[in-house]
Amino acid sequence: MSPVDVRRLAAGTLMPGFVGTTAPDWLLDAFDDGLAAVCLFGTNLVSWDQLAALCTQLRRRSPHALLSVDEEGGDVTRLHYLAGSNQPGNAVLGRIDDVHVTAAAASAIGMELAAFGINLNLAPDADVNSADENPVIGVRSFGADPVHAARHTVAWVEGLQLAGVAACAKHFPGHGDTHDDSHLALPRVKAPLQTLLERELLPFKAAAMAGVGSIMTSHIVVEALDPANPATFSPIVLQDILRGQLGFKGAVITDALDMVGASGVIGIPAAAVRALAAGADLLCIGSETTARQYQDVLEGVVAAVAEGTLPLARLQDAAARTAKLAGDFPAHSGAAVNSSAAIPAAAEIRSTFDLSATADTWLADPSPAAVVQLETQANFAVGTVPWGPAATGGTVPQESLNPGQKVALVGRGLDADHPVWALAQALRSAGHNTITVECGWPRGGADIVSYGASLAVSTALMELLL
């Protein structure tokens, strides 16, 4: 095979992001040379009209490529990056526990994406959130019970793919029992093999049996499966387990290779080669890929084939699986849809909240309430999406509180060191009837837990508080 043909095959396994609100020339030229996919992020969005123009620009250059986003609904959103998601997110859907509601939510998301010509959604999150202090999964998960998470993962996959958009169950083989963020470090899962079989792998097995179009790898070391390699670089995890034991036939997509857990030591080009050699088919390069970075990755893959460190047959297989995914889910476009009918009602969302006896007493107090939100930095997957009651415009600064006014203090990730606890004590000492509200996964101590911070959840929360 000629070097040109190998280079085209290599391009058929890559999915870069880019900086800006219009497609750069290097990206459009890469489509002409076989680029398989592009991933859009919240930073590529300033309005839906602009997004529609961007997607049209990309589709005109490459009608058959994969155009992807991370649109989980809930806290992780790209289409609704500017205001917050109109969907409650997985944790709330899991607590509603109606697979028809879950499927409808996913289908509504799929119809929104399809209207822009987006045909691959890097969702749902199929992780079982078994570690309350998990810094990167939390409310992105359907819950801590594996059978429960598997049922809702299947419903979400089927709902999305019914709308003509490929689903991607993530983060294989399971990121729910981690205490580190793989954007910033290389997490390790120490659970025994039997636990992994009964917990982490169950939702992914169910998704594979349901015909999910793709599954995303995680940059974590699962010691009972492969103590030496992160899952993204592990033939044991990707070939022996995912392909062999779980029988997955679709495309294997990597999580972003610019994350520290993947490339922090070896660099993105080397990470790309290792992932392909291990069994990955489509490589997510990162949200701010430059022309130089893209060329470095492309040249690194081509060189690895020439040197024999990446078998040509493996590259051909990866490109073929990626092309099949694009063929199975061709892009469609049309008018943006109104998905409000598929969004759980505010009362249904509120029914999933946890309330302490203190919260019940606070809510029964007829005094006027004020909501104060403490800004809490989100993980990289969430980004800078408006969240919590502040996204509704209903919060006030602490300095504007009236004497004796009752207060709801809102935050997320309320661990023992969070400043919410000291502020709550200070407000109580000053005569304010004060409760604490957790908009994330509960870690203990909060009076109300909403299991999400999306606009949909926050609107329901504000109706409860005020």
Q: Would you say 47 and 40 are in contact if contact means Cβ atoms under 8 Å apart?
A: no
Distance CA 390, CA 314 (A): 49
User: Are 394 and 371 within 8 A, CB to CB?
Assistant: yes
Catalogue the long-range contacts made by 18-24 (C-beta closer than 8 Å, 24 or more residues apart).
18/44, 18/288, 18/289, 19/43, 19/288, 19/290, 20/44, 21/45, 21/46, 21/50, 21/54, 22/53, 22/54, 22/57, 23/54, 23/57, 23/58, 23/61, 24/291
- Residue 454 tokens, joined: 């999306």
Cα–Cα distance, 434 to 425 (Å, whole number): 8
Catalytic residue among 152, 171, 183, 418, which? 183
Of the residues 255, 258, 281, 447, only one is catalytic, namely 255
Q: What is the DSSP letter of 282?
A: B
Is residue 177 part of the annotated active site? The answer reads no
Residue 459, CA atoms < 13 Å, CB-side half-sphere: 16
Assess whether 183 carries a catalytic annotation.
Answer: yes
Structure tokens, 2: 């000629």
Q: What is the dihedral sign for C-alpha 31, 299, 122, 78?
A: negative
CA angle, 38 as apex, 37 and 42 as ends, to 5°? 150
C-beta of residue 450 within 8 angstroms of C-beta of residue 76 = no
Hunting for tokens 């009918």 — which residue is that? 341
Cβ burial, residue 334 (10 Å; 0-12/13-18/19+): exposed
Q: Residues of 395-427 as b/e, b for ≥16 C-beta within 10 angstroms?
A: bbebeebeeebbbbbbbbbbeeebebbebbeeb
Is 35:294 a contact under the CB 8 Å cutoff?
A: no
Burial of 387 (0-12, 13-18, 19+ CB in 10 A): buried
Residues near 380 by beta carbon (within 8 Å), at least 6 away in sequence: 181, 183, 184, 259
Token code pair at residue 370: 């004020």
- ∠ at Cα 200 (131, 107), nearest 5°? 95
The length of the chain is: 466
The residues that are catalytic are 183, 255
